[in-house]
């Protein structure tokens, strides 16, 4: 247990209303956050802040019922903008002068969802949504709803309304199922949905395979040979790509850090299973690219012992042999697939590492290379993105590495698309 140290807080250059940016996926995007009358409206300020942490400008529209659960002052503080609760001479529901990229209804009540589907515009929020649906028809914006209500209100009427809205092009953000209710999801899945709906990235809708984490080999029935890598970078890469609208297929090794629940991931428990999962995934559907950051075991025992070897048996000599290189199998089976490979070295010079990375990049498309000598200088991971015909790019930290890989894949996707037009 810690005791309070009665000193002033650490000084900050941020103003009271400012947020600390965590990404740029919504940079330059104007988001209308429409808050209807449900208890989940109390979470709207935190959702507004989460959207802003990705760079969004957020304007809150709130109904009279919504103001029963959250105050206008709180929303104004959270968004750092005036709140719209009534329509005036400026016709705020039309947003003609400063249009929104997305309209997010969170929470979206039974009443509001059904009114949207029937074209009823009898209040500030429903009038705003009527205009939003018109803009959606012309491809000018995205509209998203987060259904939030008690389970007894999930009727055939609600289902038909949501299905009708989906046919119009509205994105329905899946609610969190808990205690017999459709609950408002956590903030990140909603922010991801908004980012994907507004993304103009050439990766939007493209399928990308991402692997990460330690992939072990067995010694006996319970013991494994693995590595100290955690898979955190693979998860960061998958998350970054998903924000931009890519359809990510994530495969993690055993012992990896957990992927967020909204980002579906499969687990490979051995090199053989990893190889099978990767090749099967690539064979099942066309992929734009593959980012192979998994730390696949380089060696395996020549013989795996049955059962659990007992310590009472004394010393145990294990003969190791190299494992098959999965990336080579991928290249052989899918020679046209653009890949981002990874290379880690120790007791290596920078020049030696770059030479290896250039050879890999020439074959696969790109290589992310790092060495223990650089990482040992601090806790921040240092890596180099090497691509054919370009100087290596030095990167610090997992978010920067993930962003650089995403930008490389965006450039490849744009060039690839132009070449086929």
Q: Are 358 and 387 in contact (CB under 8 A)?
A: no
> Model confidence over 78-96: pLDDT tens digits?
999 999 999 888 888 888 8
* Residue 379 pLDDT > 80: no
357: Cβ contacts below 8 Å, ≥ 6 apart: 343, 367, 368, 369, 384, 386, 392
* Sign of the alpha-carbon torsion through 94, 100, 101, 105: negative
* Sign of the alpha-carbon torsion through 106, 112, 114, 118: negative
In this prediction, residue 417 carries a pLDDT of 64
Task: Work out the average pLDDT over 135-160.
Answer: 96
In this prediction, residue 90 carries a pLDDT of 81
- Label residue 209 by pLDDT band (50, 70, 90): very high
pTM of the model: 0.92
| Burial of 240 (C-beta count, 10 Å sphere; 0-12/13-18/19+) | buried
In this prediction, residue 316 carries a pLDDT of 86
Q: Are 288 and 208 in contact (CB under 8 A)?
A: yes
Q: How far apart are the first and last CA of the chain?
A: 64
- Label residue 213 by pLDDT band (50, 70, 90): very high
Domains of the chain: 30-198 (3.40.50.1950), 207-419 (3.40.50.10300)
Cβ of 90: how many Cβ atoms within 10 Å? 11
Task: Work out the average pLDDT over 241-263.
Answer: 95
Task: Work out the average pLDDT over 128-139.
Answer: 96
Task: Work out the average pLDDT over 233-248.
Answer: 97
String of DSSP letters for 199-226: ---TTTT-EEEEEESEE-EESSSS-EE-
276: Cβ contacts below 8 Å, ≥ 6 apart: none
* Residue carrying structure tokens 């190791």: 320
> Model confidence over 8-51: pLDDT tens digits?
988 888 888 899 999 999 999 999 999 999 999 999 999 999 99
The residue that leads in pLDDT, 14 or 327, is 327
What does the alpha-carbon distance between residue 175 and residue 190 come to, in Å, rounded to a whole number? 10
Task: Work out the average pLDDT over 118-138.
Answer: 96
What does the alpha-carbon distance between residue 136 and residue 139 come to, in Å, rounded to a whole number? 5
- Label residue 1 by pLDDT band (50, 70, 90): low
């Amino acid at each position: 247990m810690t005791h309070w140290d009665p000193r002033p807080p650490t000084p900050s250059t941020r103003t009271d209303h400012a947020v600390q940016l965590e990404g740029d996926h919504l940079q330059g995007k104007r988001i209308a956050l429409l808050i209807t009358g449900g208890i989940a409206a109390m979470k709207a300020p935190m959702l507004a802040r989460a959207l802003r942490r990705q760079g969004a400008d957020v304007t809150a529209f709130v109904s009279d019922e919504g103001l029963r659960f959250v105050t206008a002052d709180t929303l104004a503080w959270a968004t750092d903008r005036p709140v719209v609760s009534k329509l005036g001479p400026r016709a705020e529901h039309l947003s003609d002068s400063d249009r929104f990229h997305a309209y997010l209804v969170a929470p979206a009540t039974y009443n509001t969802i059904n009114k949207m589907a029937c074209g009823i515009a009898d209040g500030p929020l429903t009038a705003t949504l009527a205009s939003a649906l018109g803009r959606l028809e012309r491809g000018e914006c995205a509209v998203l709803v987060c259904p939030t209500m008690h389970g007894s209100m999930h009727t055939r009427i609600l289902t038909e309304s949501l299905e009708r809205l989906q046919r119009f092009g509205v994105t329905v953000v899946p609610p969190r199922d808990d205690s017999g209710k459709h609950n408002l999801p956590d903030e990140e899945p909603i922010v991801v949905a908004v980012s994907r709906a507004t993304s103009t990235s050439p990766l939007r809708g493209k399928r990308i395979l991402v692997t990460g984490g330690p992939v072990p080999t067995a010694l006996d029935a319970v013991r494994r040979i693995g590595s100290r890598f955690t898979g955190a970078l693979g998860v960061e890469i998958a998350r970054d790509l998903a924000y931009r609208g890519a359809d990510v297929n994530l495969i993690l090794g055993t012992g990896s850090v957990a992927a967020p629940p909204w980002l579906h991931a499969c687990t490979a428990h051995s090199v053989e299973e990893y190889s099978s999962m990767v090749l099967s995934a690539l064979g099942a559907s066309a992929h734009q690219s593959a980012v192979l950051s998994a730390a696949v075991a380089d060696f395996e025992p020549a013989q795996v012992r049955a059962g659990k070897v007992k310590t009472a048996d004394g010393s145990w000599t294990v003969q190791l042999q190299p494992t098959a290189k999965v990336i080579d199998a991928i290249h052989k089976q899918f020679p046209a697939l653009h890949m981002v490979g990874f290379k880690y070295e120790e007791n290596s010079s920078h020049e030696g590492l770059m030479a290896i990375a250039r050879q890999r990049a020439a074959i696969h498309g790109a290589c992310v290379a790092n060495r223990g000598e650089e990482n040992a200088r601090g806790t921040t991971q240092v890596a180099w993105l090497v691509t054919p015909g370009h100087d290596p790019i030095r990167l610090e930290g997992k978010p920067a590495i993930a962003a650089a890989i995403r930008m490389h894949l965006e450039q490849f996707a744009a060039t690839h698309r132009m070449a086929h037009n």
